[in-house]
Amino acid sequence: MPATPANVPWHMVTGTVAAAHLDAAGYRRLVVHAPPVAAACGPGQFVMVRAPEWGMLLLSRPFDVYRTDPEAGTLEILFKVKGEGTQRLAALRAGDPIHVLGPLGRPVPLPQDGRGVLLVSRGAGVSPMVRIAQECAQRGIRARALVSAASRERLVGIQDLETLGVTVHPLTDDDPAALRPVQILSGWAAGGDWGAVYVCGSRRLARAARDVCRAHNLAGYVFVEAHMACGFGICHGCAVPVRPGPGNPTGQVAYALACVRGPALPIEEAVLD
Amino acid sequence: MEGKRPNVAATTPDLSVQVGPLTLKAPVMPASGCFNVGQEVAHLFDLSCMGAIINKTVMPGPRPGNPPYRVLERTAGLINSIGIPSKGPAEFLEHQLPFMRSLGTRVIVSIGGLSEADYAGLAALMDAQEGIDALELDLSCPNHAERRPFALSADATRSLVRAVRRATRLPLIAKLAPNVSDIVAIAAAAMEAGADALCVANTYPAMGIDIEERRPVLGLQTGGLSGPAIKPMTLRLVWEIVSELDAPVIACGGVTTWRDAVEYLLAGARAVQVGTANFTNPRAIPDIIDGLRAYLVRHGFARVTDIIGAAQPPERRARIARPSA
């Protein structure tokens, strides 16, 4: 696999909501017109977002970018409404202004040797997978996705993945196979020519992906979770532990900032247990 | 200040201030630890507009910082337990100090440690460098698991500042803790021991509990509260010190907009530091400088020093306005 691309200069803009969608039970998707951010946003990068009316909230909220359309100047974010921040974002309608910082973090590398990619996600974790699938479609890289959710109504992103040519395997918690993600992924890994696995939204799926990467000698990248304040490296709040490796030469577990070293880390560097 | 407007409207008011021996081109600078040294935002605005650049506190040796979670949002505030991750002085001197020196503004180096010897050693090391205008002594970070902050005690503050004073001739700014019963006594102790100015103050010890998981949110349970929520409290601390002592004060606590900066200056602070606001508005510092300038123009003040201490009773104002104060 090629090395992880470097961070790029980010933009601070007030964009406009171009459209607001309800994609599945509780999942909102905003299409945001923010041309410089959309143009610069690589696969796996994220944005910090806030609504102009933010009440007594302080911090912007981080979202992995779902999809970009540089020609239209738009990027999309997908989120589940959880707290006051996502409630305020969910209330935005087409034409409303929205503050955006981005693109932040590092893009994920993609195979350059003709091998395909496996995309593994749960819930809103499908966001970076759609953006990666977009990149794969442009570069002619095959992609296959495991999209997990608690129930059928909560499955999200599947149509958009399929439109991008991805073979999608939905998996809900009522399916007995949901207990055995390693089996599913191992079957895929054994039966095809894959170069890398990307996983987001579930620690359990991340562990499964790691095991499969080890067994089949695949590169893996996991999107890490952290409480984040700034998004661009000055607050040092979003520390995540990283194991010793090429990115951590200290020989022991150290901290990396999810915002500048991530949001995706090589799966062997992440602490998942 | 009605009736005191000069005849000629000041279109470009003089923003320079004197903080003890330091002349600053503007009374606004970042708060240590909330800006790195500005490289991340250098593409957004001209960093030379700031009155000074201050690094994230350099510690005597490498430290990983505290375990996650390190930050937590609460009403109008941020609670952090970062724990001053540091790569140590060698990395600071090689990579950060040269960048700070290149910015064309005052260079204030924040140093920390766990013992008087730590501070004195770092002070001596910085004393031997070119292009450092002052040292800020972080006596008040609430997030060291190893020891309580020096600035919680007048005696510990006096003793530490004295030890550093012997190690360097650089101007010293003592960064005090807000959670004390007698801020004036501790401020006085720092000044008697040789501090040239005070930074008032730091975060307020605080915590949050996750009610679903039924456990503290932060990795080390407690942290320090910053942001808009603390400004009225820190404003009171600045007011008390300026009222009682001849000590130049740099205010640090919840400055988010130019209005906050003006309030602190009216209370008698000679400059302000901007911390948490950088996280939510990376252009906060130039925005505050622009807003302050517009305020001075609107009210007909030719110099920012005209408003320093202007909210204080008349009998104190002349003393506070003296540059040497």
pLDDT in tens, A194-241: 999 999 999 999 999 999 999 999 999 999 989 999 999 999 999 999
Tell me whether residues B82 and A254 touch, CB distance under 8 A.
no
Checking if the pLDDT of B324 tops 60, the result is no
Fold of A116-266: Rossmann fold (3.40.50)
Of B70, B75, B85, the CB nearest to A227: B70
What are the structure tokens assigned to B187, written together?
């401020």
Tell me whether residues A236 and B56 touch, CB distance under 8 A.
yes
Q: What is the ipTM of this complex?
A: 0.93
What is the average per-residue pLDDT within A110-127? 96
What is the average per-residue pLDDT within A130-147? 97
- Pairing verdict, β B52-54 and B106-111: parallel
Side-chain-side CA neighbours of residue A245 (13 Å): 13
What are the structure tokens assigned to A136, written together?
């794969």
**Dihedral (Cα; B25, B28, B33, B37), 10-degree rounding:** -40
Residue reference for tokens 């906050």: B260
A238 touches chain B (CB under 8 A): yes
What is the average per-residue pLDDT within B192-218? 97
Average pLDDT of chain B to the nearest whole number? 94
Nearest to A118 by CA among A110, B115, B28: A110
Instruction: Report in angstroms the alpha-carbon separations of B253 from A124, A149, B187, B201.
Output: 36, 44, 16, 6
Checking if the pLDDT of B2 tops 70, the result is no
- Known catalytic residues of B? 141
Q: Are B119 and B160 in contact (CB under 8 A)?
A: yes
What superfamily would CATH give domain A11-104?
Translation factors (2.40.30.10)
pLDDT of residue B71: 97
pLDDT of residue B323: 63
Specify the CATH architecture of the domain B17-321.
Alpha-Beta Barrel (3.20)
The rounded distance, in Å, linking the Cα atoms of A256 and A242 is 6
| Stated pTM of the model | 0.94
Nearest to A23 by CA among A90, A88, A68: A90
Extents of the domains making up chain A: 11-104, 116-266
The rounded distance, in Å, linking the Cα atoms of A268 and B6 is 67
The rounded distance, in Å, linking the Cα atoms of A230 and B216 is 22
Checking if the pLDDT of B8 tops 80, the result is no
pLDDT of residue A219: 96
Of A58, A230, A255, the CB nearest to B64: A255
Interface probe with A: pick from B44, B56, B70, B72, most Cβ of A within 10 Å = B70
Residues in chain B within 8 Å Cβ distance of A254: 64
Residues in chain B within 8 Å Cβ distance of A227: 68-72, 217
> Cα distance from A110 to chain B (closest Cα, Å)?
26
Residues in chain A within 8 Å Cβ distance of B82: 235-237
What is the average per-residue pLDDT within A54-82? 96
Secondary element (H or E) of residue B131: none
A6 touches chain B (CB under 8 A): no
The rounded distance, in Å, linking the Cα atoms of B176 and B193 is 14
Checking if the pLDDT of B1 tops 80, the result is no
pLDDT of residue B3: 45
pLDDT of residue B125: 98
Checking if the pLDDT of A35 tops 60, the result is yes
- pLDDT tier, A249 (very low <50, low <70, confident <90, very high otherwise): confident
pLDDT of residue A245: 80
Checking if the pLDDT of A39 tops 50, the result is yes
Q: What percent of chain A has pLDDT over 90?
A: 87
A204-213, B8-17, B64-73: range with lowest mean pLDDT: B8-17
Q: What percent of chain B has pLDDT over 70?
A: 96
Residues in chain A within 8 Å Cβ distance of B66: 239
pLDDT in tens, B284-297: 999 999 999 999 99
pLDDT in tens, B230-259: 999 999 999 999 999 999 999 999 999 999
Residue reference for tokens 């880390």: A265
pLDDT in tens, B266-280: 999 999 999 999 999
Tell me whether residues A56 and B76 touch, CB distance under 8 A.
yes
Nearest C-alpha in B relative to A104: B40
